[in-house]
Structure 1
Amino acid sequence: MKNFDQHFREEFLDLLTWRRDVRHFKTDPLPDGKMEELINYANMAPSVGLSQPWRFVEVSSSESRAKVLKVFESENDKALNDYHGEKAKLYASLKLSGMKEAPIQLAVYCDPDPEKGAGLGRKTMPETLAYSCTMAIHTMWLAARAQGIGLGWVSIIDPDKINTILDVPADWQLIGYFCIGYPVYVDDKPELERKGWEAREAPVILRK
């Protein structure tokens, strides 16, 4: 069994501390093959029944990107209407997407019924397929951050509209849409915390 020393554990804590949801990207492209490398890291994540249900769609065309951006802007306007007063002003001031700057945009999907894995472990909890995809995303996120590359999760979108734009199989489930690239700056605190939107709290632990 591989043993990791104290130095590695401290470095790993730094990686977790400095991993951020990035919105401010440089336009510099990633090196050739880097995105494929990051996806290979994601592919090392655990998955229920070793099903590897994740599916990656790199959104490269300017036409598709423009359509996705339009969806985000529409949904973001709707979201703003849910807030009032100072909270609405704060929301309007937040940068919630790096779509205009990030060199890479990636949609991560879940195949809801992959042949791989033969159904092991998901008969009673089929949602573990989607959880597995989230594990893959987090694995890629940490691997990217270790190389100075940032990810930004864009959740203010309509999945059905994104599916239509990307023309994916009808049964695929959109897990996340990501902007990927080099961050303009790095910080050890989430931007939403620095901007006063919310603060990180200690976890809730129940013992029974």
Structure 2
Amino acid sequence: MDLMQAIESRRDTRHFTDEAVPKAVLDKALMAALHGPSVGLSQPCRFLDVSDSPRAALIENFTSQRSKAETALDEPDRLRLHRSLKLESLAEAPILLATFCAYPEEEYTIGVIGNMRAVEWSCACAIQNLWLSLTADGYGAGWVTILDLKAIAARLKTPENWEPMGILCIGKPATDYEGRPMLEHLGWKNRELNLDAFYSVAHLS
């Protein structure tokens, strides 16, 4: 699989088989994450493997936050569709990685004077590299953020400068959703692939 094939076939996966993820595949994906671009070479992404932890508390956390999110949906048909969507795989995924952004503790980091959130963007780059590596090897991931992330950080007793970014569910995909993102496949939202909607030429005044 070449790079563009991996990019186009990567999915936010919510349905996994029970096949184990080989350690070599996970290690390769984590190494890909380490090679991601990061502001000031800060390499802020941190992964905690919580796969062997009891999962009931995570599922309860998700269920509570999902219920809160659904209070924003007033349209009955939209709410019904939302409730039918599988938005996590916390119980089924063979591997769960709690993911954090470790804000630099050094006195000066190159590149953050304009926006400190560039550190979090660096984590997103690392996660994308991890995701593409898994995809290229026939595995996948789902990024779960419908969570009380601060509660998870508290349970894990992470350092104060670690900002929680969600749980990555990793495994062998049970489906590719007919070659489309799951939310598009199930009728929630259509993906836009018209470059003109995202790219244009501009001139600074």
TM norm structure 1: 0.88
Please tell me whether residue 176 in structure 1 is matched to residue 166 in structure 2: yes
Structure-2 residue corresponding to 1:48: 39
**Which residue in the other structure is 2:116 paired with?**
126
Instruction: Give the Cα separation in 2 of the matches to 1:194 and 1:34.
Output: 28
Partner secondary structure for residue 23 of structure 2: coil
Q: Separation in 1 of the partners of 2:155 and 2:16?
A: 24
Matching residue's letter, 1:124: G
SS in 2 for 1:86: helix
Cα drift, residue 106 of structure 1? 0.6
CA shift at 1:124, angstroms?
Answer: 2.5
Distance 2:174 2:7 in 1: 19
CA 1:37/1:13 → structure 2, altered by over 3 Å: closer, same or farther? closer
Equivalent position to 1:37, from 28, 31, 44: 28
Question: Alpha-carbon deviation of 1:151?
Answer: 0.5
Report the secondary structure of 2:96's partner residue.
strand
Quick one: which of 189, 192, 205 aligns to 2:183? 192
> Residue in 2 aligned with 1:166?
156
Q: Could you say which residue in structure 1 is the equivalent of 2:89?
A: 98
CA RMSD of aligned residues (A): 1.7
Q: Distance in 2 between matches of 1:114 and 1:175?
A: 18
Aligned partner of residue 83 in structure 2, secondary structure: helix
Distance 1:188 1:37, change over 3 A: same
CA deviation map 1:118-158 (0-9, x unaligned): 51122222111111110000001001000011100111111
Matched, 1:109 2:100: yes
Distance (whole Å) between structure 1 residues aligned to residue 53 and residue 111 of structure 2: 40
Q: Which runs of 5+ in 1 are unaligned?
A: 1-7
Residue aligned with 2:180, SS: coil
Residue 138 (structure 1) aligned to one of 114, 118, 128: 128
Structure 1 residue 33: deviation in Å?
3.8
Q: CA deviation at 1:29?
A: 1.4
In the alignment, residue 39 of structure 1 is paired with which amino acid? L
Q: Give the 3-state SS of the residue equivalent to 2:32 in structure 1.
A: helix
Whether contact under 8 Å (1:67, 1:165) holds in the other structure is no
Residue identity over aligned pairs, in percent, reads 36
Show the counterpart of 1:61.
Answer: 52
Once residues 66 and 14 of structure 2 are traced to their aligned partners in structure 1, the CA distance between those partners, rounded to angstroms, is: 15
After superposition, the C-alpha distances for 1:81-116 in whole angstroms (9 at most, x for unaligned) are 32231001100110000111100001221111243x
Contact 1:80–1:88 under 8 Å retained in 2: yes
Secondary structure in 1 aligned to 2:100? strand
Structure 2 unmatched ranges of 5 or more: none
Aligned pair count reads 197
